[in-house]
Chains A and B, each alone.
Chain A
Amino acid sequence: AQSVTQLDSHVSVSEGTPVLLRCNYSSSYSPSLFWYVQHPNKGLQLLLKYTSAATLVKGINGFEAEFKKSETSFHLTKPSAHMSDAAEYFCVVSPPAGNKLTFGGGTRVLVKP
């Protein structure tokens, strides 16, 4: 069984300041973990994925995430927010074999000028 909890439903940041989106997971095996972004009225786009190689994963648009097994966390960060980062972000877990994804509830990011 697997589950994902995104600890913040909404995050508000000022443009140029760091962004932190928190994600904890529960899994009975070594999972694959993903972050997806969804802009308004669009589908989901892959930001990055963790698949048991490096624990620090770099993604598109300056995002990165760190896998911490001891804390069962996979938090997403970006050093400097841009207005275009305003979107909803989903943390997702997948079993090592197969592709049935389990989604967190999402974090909506607001970027203030």
Chain B
Amino acid sequence: NAGVTQTPKFQVLKTGQSMTLQCAQDMNHNSMYWYRQDPGMGLRLIYYSASEGTTDKGEVPNGYNVSRLNKREFSLRLESAAPSQTSVYFCASTRTGSNQPQHFGDGTRLSIL
């Protein structure tokens, strides 16, 4: 009954360090997403992958890269972390088709000093 699993749950980085956030889902979903959540702004889409082998930019992609490793896994990489990237990051997945709800992980809380 795992659903969407994100690792790590917490991380503190120094400016300029790199980091990869991991996400895996066990629901056989085709589409996966990365969001960031900042106070008062809801969630904003960073990147998404509509299906295995494809990735596309969302609303706030600058400073991030992604890899859809296989159908289950979708990772988010910060190559050179900046304080503005301090946020809570959520991964989500969904079935193919219209009006499908997204299923979310519990988030990664990332602080960049």
Contacts and interface: CB of A to CB of B under 8 A. Distances in A.
Interface of A: 4, 9, 32, 34, 36, 41-46, 49, 51, 90, 94, 96-101, 103-106
B60 interface: no
Contacts of B90: 43-44
Given A34-B101, A36-B104, 13 more contacts: A4-B42, A43-B90, A43-B104, A49-B99, A49-B101, A51-B98, A51-B99, A90-B42, A90-B43, A94-B99, A100-B45, A101-B43, A105-B40
A53 to B, nearest CB: 10
B4 A106 contact: no
B48 A41 contact: no
B4 to A, nearest CB: 7
A106 B99 contact: no
Contact of B98 (A4, A46, A96): A96
Contacts of A44: 43, 90, 92, 102, 104
A51 B105 CA distance: 24
Scoring A45, A51, A97, A103 by chain B CB atoms within 10 A of each residue's CB, the highest score goes to A103
Interface residues of B, number: 24
A97 B31 CA distance: 14
B58 A42 contact: no
Interface string B79-99: 000000000001010100011
A108 B40 CA distance: 10
B8 to A, nearest CB: 14
